[in-house]
């Protein structure tokens, strides 16, 4: 398994822990506000907001907290204006990184991201320097308690591109344009996913040594702990045994 995929599993577990101390709520509220501001407050007519609401529910965010964030975005006040930012750079071992954020202070955010990269021995790149190494995909994840054959049948019938199986369960892969259609097909088949999101997946990976992998995971944690950062994507690959040791 690619280190990046293993890292995705670690992030999901970490996300559940972060939710307990409110870190995830801060990021989700920003996304709810921004999605509502850009596409309107009705999830039925706003795909981005619909996905944000699903994520918020998955993190057990109270309904009234979600509703306040959506109303805040729809109101369009100054406090609802988060700018979308994307930073590209390089981490340990030449790992390519894409960092997505929502911020009300671009100078603060770029300074924090640059500091984290520099401290890890990496550097901030120019726009377009690594973006070509990633492609947008819809990922719908099911745990090992779900029948993989049933998932595969329903997913392919709904128009999914692929179904990846692992010891942790299976992941349905879709084109971004087909994401909602496939989600609806899976739900119509009575299947409930553990997570569903549109992400940037690396098209090629860099194999890291144990030392560089440890530095990379520490860098990823540092970046993800920044309030302004929403998502961190990287193109590294690490052997399973090393990844398991580092995750322990």
- CA–CA distance from 225 to each of 5, 40, 169, 222, 228 (Å)? 20, 29, 27, 5, 9
pLDDT in tens, 42-79: 999 999 999 999 999 988 899 999 999 999 999 877 77
> Among 90, 95, 88, which Cα is nearest to 207's?
95
Distance from C-alpha of 106 to C-alpha of 25, rounded to nearest angstrom? 21
Distance from C-alpha of 41 to C-alpha of 174, rounded to nearest angstrom? 26
pLDDT for position 18: 54
Looking at residues 12-25, what average pLDDT do you find?
60
DSSP class per residue in 152-171: HHHHHHHT-SEEEEETTEEE
What percentage of residues in the chain have a pLDDT greater than 90? 71
Name the band, by pLDDT with cuts 50, 70 and 90, for residue 238.
confident
> Among 71, 103, 70, which Cα is nearest to 86's?
103
1, pLDDT greater than 70: no
What percentage of residues in the chain have a pLDDT greater than 70? 90
What are 104-109's contacts with CB under 8 Å, separation 24+? Answer: 105/228, 108/228, 109/85, 109/226, 109/228, 109/229
DSSP assigned state of 208 = -
Domains of the chain: residue spans and CATH: 3-80 (1.10.10.200), 83-132+204-243 (3.30.70.980), 133-202 (3.30.70.980)
* Inter-residue contact 5 to 243 (CB < 8 Å): no
Rounded (to 5) percent helix, strand, coil in the chain: 55, 25, 25
Residue 181: exposure state from Cβ atoms within 10 A (0-12, 13-18, ≥19): middle
Please give the backbone phi and psi of residue 206, each rounded to the nearest 5 degrees, phi first.
Answer: -110, 125
2, pLDDT greater than 50: no
**Residue holding tokens 């299976």?**
170
pLDDT for position 239: 77
């Amino acid at each position: 398994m690619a280190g990046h995929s293993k890292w995705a599993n670690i992030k999901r577990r970490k996300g559940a822990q972060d939710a307990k101390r409110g870190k995830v709520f801060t990021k989700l509220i920003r996304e709810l506000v921004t999605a509502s501001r850009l596409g309107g407050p009705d999830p039925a007519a706003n795909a981005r907001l619909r996905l944000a609401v699903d994520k918020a529910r998955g993190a057990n965010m109270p309904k009234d907290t979600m509703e306040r964030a959506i109303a805040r975005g729809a109101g369009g006040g100054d406090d609802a204006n988060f700018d979308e930012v994307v930073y590209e750079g390089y981490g340990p071992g030449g790992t390519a990184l894409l960092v997505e954020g929502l911020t009300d202070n671009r100078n603060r955010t770029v300074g924090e991201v640059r500091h984290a990269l520099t401290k890890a021995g990496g550097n901030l790149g120019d726009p377009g320097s690594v973006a070509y190494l990633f492609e947008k995909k819809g990922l719908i994840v099911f745990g090992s308690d779900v029948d993989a054959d049933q998932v595969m049948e329903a997913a392919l019938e709904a128009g999914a591109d692929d179904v990846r199986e692992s010891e942790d369960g299976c992941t349905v892969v879709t084109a971004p344009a087909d994401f909602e259609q496939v989600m609806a097909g899976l739900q119509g088949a009575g299947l409930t996913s553990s997570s569903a999101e549109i992400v940037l997946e690396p098209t090629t990976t860099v194999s890291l040594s144990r030392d560089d992998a440890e530095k990379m995971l520490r860098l990823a944690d540092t970046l993800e702990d920044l309030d302004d950062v929403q998502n961190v994507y990287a193109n590294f690959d690490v052997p399973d045994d090393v990844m398991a040791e580092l995750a322990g």
